[in-house]
Amino acid sequence: MAERAGPRTLQDAKRWMLEKLVARVHPMGLTDPDATRAVIDALTGLDGASWGNAWMARGDQFAKAAAVFEADGDAAAARDAWYQAYGFYFLGRFPCPNHAEKQASYEKALDAYQRFGALASPVIEPVSLPFDGRPGEGREIALYVRMPDGAANPPVIIMWGGVDAWKEEMTILTEGLARQGYATVALDNVGTGQSPIKAGPDGERQFMPVLEWVASCGRFDSGRVAIVGRSFGGHWATKLAHLCPGRLRAAVNWGGGVHYMFQPDWIEASRHPDSYLMELVETRSRMLGAADDAEYIEGFRRLSLLDQGLLDRPCAPLLLINGKNDTQCPITDIELLTEHGDPKSVRLFPGRGHMGFGPDTVPTIIGWLNARLA
């Protein structure tokens, strides 16, 4: 496993970001390359204040331009500028808003994204569902609904991200699916973004009201429902595929763990993977609500689907897709899934890292979903 001894230096982080910017992959795939390169070059530190302020300042510039375009009636230019503003605010809160400046950037990202979504085609509609949370938990589930143009009662794909890519980062995938005639419902992974709960062994309770709403609201074809979990979110897609096989036509685990990822040896080996920019343990701990390393290790241990006794149960059609050289989630988890329960579909991309990013990754997912939802 490609692993660093500790956190990146500023210069190493800049090198990593510039490489990802050239490749146009997460988290450097959303923003204008020249403007992004300028922020990277001028960045003075990786601490929360330096990081959040640097990206937020460039986001503010795009937000100011977007407001001018709106006032002038140029909806297309305003839409694009709001998306850029959101993209820079996203980087300002990345990988999670664990500092006041990063939290401020996240709040601006939410506002800019909804302004972009109102101008997007198809429109991205914010929806809030009530949630019966426990004491101290949230009381609603925030969604983005995107309906394909000209389609009545379309099939629907519910999706969520991982520890650092949240519902706003599902945009490119929702655009591709809308062109195929699918409605999409995007929400935050358990314990991230606007999720009302922290991740735990019963975190699937966040998704159940969404499945019930999709089935009963009358906007979608309730007989053609699929789910996609991106990165860590693939864990919950796999769990729901085993818990609700009769409700789902298809499920995709796009780079998520089920058992070996949550074991102490992998936790130690993946603290500073070369595929990750910074603060992976801090971001995972925030998702779990873990206050220290012992709670982090125990929180991960409790997520094992093998130990929960689920893997030999009936399962909805499930696609397991990842890069073969993933250093954040072990490929042994895919092998484990193929050894239990119903047969699975598998696609591993040789030579690629976490999530197997490449020009054929999203088309592979959409093609597989097409075959099951046709």
Q: Taking 60 as the threshold, does the pLDDT of residue 296 lie above it?
A: yes
As a whole number, mean pLDDT of residues 203-228 equals 97
As a whole number, mean pLDDT of residues 324-343 equals 96
CA-to-CA distance for 240 and 263, rounded, in angstroms? Answer: 21
Helices in the chain by DSSP H: which ranges?
A: 10-23, 33-42, 48-71, 75-93, 100-119, 171-179, 208-216, 233-243, 264-269, 280-288, 293-301, 332-338, 361-373
As a whole number, mean pLDDT of residues 229-254 equals 98
The share of the chain scoring above pLDDT 70, in percent, equals 99
Q: Do strands 225-230 and 156-160 pair parallel, antiparallel, or not at all (unpaired)?
A: parallel
Q: Taking 80 as the threshold, does the pLDDT of residue 326 lie above it?
A: yes
For the chain, the straight-line distance linking the first and the last C-alpha, in angstroms and rounded, comes to 40
Q: Do strands 124-130 and 140-146 pair parallel, antiparallel, or not at all (unpaired)?
A: antiparallel
Q: In this predicted structure, what is the pLDDT of residue 150?
A: 87
At the top level of CATH, the class of 31-120 is mainly alpha
Where in the chain are the domains?
31-120, 123-373
As a whole number, mean pLDDT of residues 185-211 equals 98
As a whole number, mean pLDDT of residues 44-55 equals 98
CA-to-CA distance for 205 and 221, rounded, in angstroms? Answer: 23
CA-to-CA distance for 59 and 370, rounded, in angstroms? Answer: 36
CATH (residue range 123-373): 3.40.50.1820
Q: Taking 80 as the threshold, does the pLDDT of residue 245 lie above it?
A: yes
Q: How confident is the model at residue 151 (pLDDT cuts 50, 70, 90)?
A: confident
Tens of pLDDT, residue by residue over 63-86, are 999 999 999 999 999 999 999 999
pTM of the model: 0.96
Tens of pLDDT, residue by residue over 119-135, are 999 999 999 999 999 99
Lookup result for tokens 């995938």: 173
Q: Taking 60 as the threshold, does the pLDDT of residue 1 lie above it?
A: no
Q: Taking 60 as the threshold, does the pLDDT of residue 3 lie above it?
A: no
Q: Taking 80 as the threshold, does the pLDDT of residue 2 lie above it?
A: no
Q: What is the mean pLDDT of the chain?
A: 96
